[in-house]
Chains A and B, each alone.
Chain A
Amino acid sequence: MKRRKFLVGSAIGVGVILGSGYLSRKVWRRYLAGVANTIDLPYLKPAPPHLWFEIKANNEIILHCPKVEMGQGAFTGLAQIAADELDVRVDQMQVVHATTDTDNIDEFSTGGSTSISSLWQPLRELAATMREMLKNEAAKQHNLPIKDLSTSEGMIRHGEQQLTYGEIAASVETWTVPKTPPLKDPKSYQWVGKPIPRVDLLEKVTGSPIYGMDAEMPDMLFGAIARPDKVDAELGTVDTAEADKMPGVVKIVQEKDFVGVIAHSYTEAENAKNALNITWKTNRAWQSSDILEMIQVGKGSPQEIQKEGRADRLLDSSSEGLMQAEYSSPIGAHAQLEPNGAVAYVEKDKATVIISTQVVKLTRSEVAKRLGMKKEQVNIIPSFLGGGFGRRLHTPHAAEIAVLSRAVGRPVKCFYNRQEEFQNDTFRPPTHHVLKAKLSDNKEIIALEHHVSSGDVMFGSPLFPGIAEHILGADLGAWRGGMIQYSGIPNHRAVSWRVKLPFATSWWRSLGLLANTFAIESFMDELAHRAGKDPVAFRLAHINDSEAGLRLKAVIQAAAEKAKWGQALEEGHAMGFACSTDVNTPVAQVAEISISNDKIKVHKVTCAIDPGLVINPDQVRAQCEGAIIMGMSAAMFEEMEVVDNSLQPIIYGPYRMAQMRDAPKEIDVVLLENAQTPGAVGEPPLGPIGAAIANAVFALTGQRLRSMPLQPA
């Protein structure tokens, strides 16, 4: 069958929104910001069913998954969703990464907590259609009336007679794609909603070689590409004399923008790279103090992203009873365990790249462009990711490694070392926040305003066309979580300040959510204390009964109840509360902490989340646990600095991250399902944790910690 557009996603097209010409520029930008804040990214242009499902003669069903598995459990959740409409058991399925030459290519990326939510509708339709296709074929091949055929567990049944899907599929040469049949009632699903073990579990406990780092090709050589240890550096002069003489060197490749060596082993390639004499062109000697200065609210360019009522006028500096506080967060590294790299093999008229990437399609385009090939000549083979977290939403090293391979006519494997990872990361930008508010006489918030200043997240990302900057006006990655969710506050406003930093900043799991929620939810705590109200009751009192408001209230109540908020605690312990809604998924968290020797110890975190329909409760819990630990790690310990134009530290340890001893001994996750369809899970639970801990510190000591990493005095 020729490829054709199959199912049309339910995207709200940007074009439609732009058509609203009656809105002024400022107003429609705000409107757009509001839309962007709540919609999930749709899955665009799904390929036809038989490009998703490969049915083997032995009746094994292979799901060629265009979303990559980076730990988030996409393979498992998608297998569950597909199984229910395809009428197979999950254990009859095997999920693999779709390579680009299967033509089942994700138009965008694996990211934004959308792997499940964006495919919920299309994948069910695809699976149901595939089932229908099998039935049609069975009817045709065996001359049976289709209405008498039923399906279950990978079998087509007709009375006593049964045929496996594999038997039917074996003789099909060209599939005909029928109209999408009606979907089943989700209530009747057998797999959706079950806490089945992850489908990749056995591989992951036996140490199977499944990551990009593990890939090999026959006759493979090792490459090493020099990366700057300086901020904002470009390749200057290169002297290869020393490196040429190093043992094992096969070739040194010098391009305008990079230099790499190719050798027989990893160690030889690394040693030869270190023997290159390179000068990097830099512009100035940046220091952390420069960055701190630049990032202050008021320095960059502002864009109003939310406005309700007259917050700006009510909160001007002369107004009586004005409360104001400043918060900040540092530069954060991804620090994913598997370094970036790839194995590439460029032949005369084709190229193959095995890689851990979140952007399969983009990587293919970049490789093709660099090699002067057509996209169809490049096959990207995605592998399991040893962590994604947004670090792999751009993997331009694939093209560089392809160039190395072309230079020697053999496959080349090449990856970053850890120092290069730390110094060439696409960091979580540092932020600065100014919050202002006023209470009424009866201690309710009359007006609340949030200013966030941040380096870029979405702007500059090759995932979005440059035009997005002009359309949106403000970086939705930077202000993610920065809007005021307390709909009951009559006057509220949020402003995003854009700052261009001299190093790359980009997507980091949950984007601005962690920092913005830290600022807003800490400030809410300040306001509650000023008002003399309980922080939980105070929050509830400022949320309207809209659908989103009710869902938020429900998680707040659930978390408070489960954590026994307000109960007497062990001596020296205290609780803190925070909540946020991210892409329609509300989350509330309670952190119980103590402090000894000026160090915070998080004993227990209670988390209530409402991601809508839950596909796999165990994996939703796992994502919450992981997000809580990653979030507390970032909030309590992590910080990159710029020292004499170099990003530091360059290794785990000095880049302090949460370890076993820091992890809470109890994480209690409560799942609510107050929506009909599955929503975001991977990122939302990262939002509240920083503020929940800081608020607990306040409850315990009266100290208000306003900058991350949190350090009690």
Chain B
Amino acid sequence: MKIECTINGEKRKLETEGSTPLLWVLRDELGLKGTKFGCGKAACGACTVHVNGTAIRSCSYPIQAAQQAEIRTIEGLGNESALHAVQQAWQEEIVPQCGYCQPGFMMAAAALIDRIPDPTDEDIDQNITNICRCGTYYRMRKAIHRAVAIQQHQKETASENSTL
């Protein structure tokens, strides 16, 4: 079937089997390999992307459900020269080990702080349910709190600049 959607800000027209999981469209058809396969059953979160601003697990999300949707993947979260606050925080806390789970976590964390701008530890525990085998949770928690501070700072500088 024909699917029209926006991926990382770019309009896309796709022709594909409607039941194909979004994950494989992203990875194998569009070459966006930052979104990872871990389980294929919505159980690990490695494949987390944003659909209309909400974190979803793309391995279990048929592409037909993305009709007209805004999709964001790790490639669209930020880039090397302009990292998203979450990526910057991840970098400053030196979170990744093997790194395989990290795009999924960063997408989940970015969606979380969009929804809850200053999440408590409790909020983090309840909302970040991805799996990291390397056990980087301890630094991730610190990084999420740091991302909030970075974002806060960015907003302040932005508003200072606009009042100048």
Contact = CB atoms under 8 A, between A and B. Distances in A.
A200 B95 CA distance: 11
B40 A660 contact: no
B126 interface: yes
Contacts of A387: 98, 100, 133-134
Chain A binding surface SS class: loop
B28 A630 contact: no
Interface stretch (A202-210, A293-301, A478-486): A202-210
Interface string B15-54: 0010011001001100001111111110110100000000
A699 B71 CA distance: 51
Nearest to B135: A629
Nearest to B84: A205
B108 to A, nearest CB: 10
B131 A657 contact: yes
Interface in A603-650: 618, 622, 625-630, 633
Contacts of A688: none
Interface in B51-82: 73-75, 77-80
Interface string A52-88: 0000000000000000001111000000000000000
A622 B101 CA distance: 16
Interface stretch (A535-543, A574-582, A662-670): A662-670
B92 to A, nearest CB: 9
B128 interface: yes
Contact of A659 (B106, B121, B129): B129
Contact of B36 (A213, A266, A664): A213
A358 to B, nearest CB: 12
B16 to A, nearest CB: 9
A337 B106 contact: no
Interface residues of B, number: 58
Nearest to A270: B40
Contacts of A200: 96, 99
B158 to A, nearest CB: 22
Contacts of B35: 207
B24 A652 contact: no
A626 B131 contact: no
Contacts of B96: 71, 198, 200-201, 204-205
B113 interface: no
Number of contact residues on A: which range applies?
35 or more
Contact of A205 (B43, B91, B129): B91
B37 A202 contact: no
A417 B40 contact: yes
Interface string A191-223: 000000110111111111111011000000000
B133 A265 contact: no
A345 interface: no
Interface of B: 17, 20-21, 24, 27-28, 33-41, 43-44, 46, 73-75, 77-80, 83, 87, 90-91, 94-103, 106, 121, 124-126, 128-141
20 contacts: A71-B96, A198-B96, A202-B80, A204-B96, A204-B99, A207-B35, A207-B77, A210-B99, A265-B24, A266-B28, A337-B100, A338-B100, A386-B36, A387-B100, A387-B134, A626-B135, A626-B136, A633-B135, A658-B137, A660-B130
Interface of A: 70-73, 197-198, 200-211, 213-214, 265-267, 334-339, 384-389, 417-418, 618, 622, 625-630, 633, 651-653, 657-665, 667
Given A207-B106, A336-B100, A660-B137, 20 more contacts: A71-B134, A198-B94, A200-B99, A202-B80, A204-B102, A205-B102, A267-B17, A267-B20, A267-B24, A336-B98, A337-B98, A338-B100, A387-B100, A622-B97, A622-B136, A626-B136, A629-B137, A651-B39, A659-B130, A663-B135
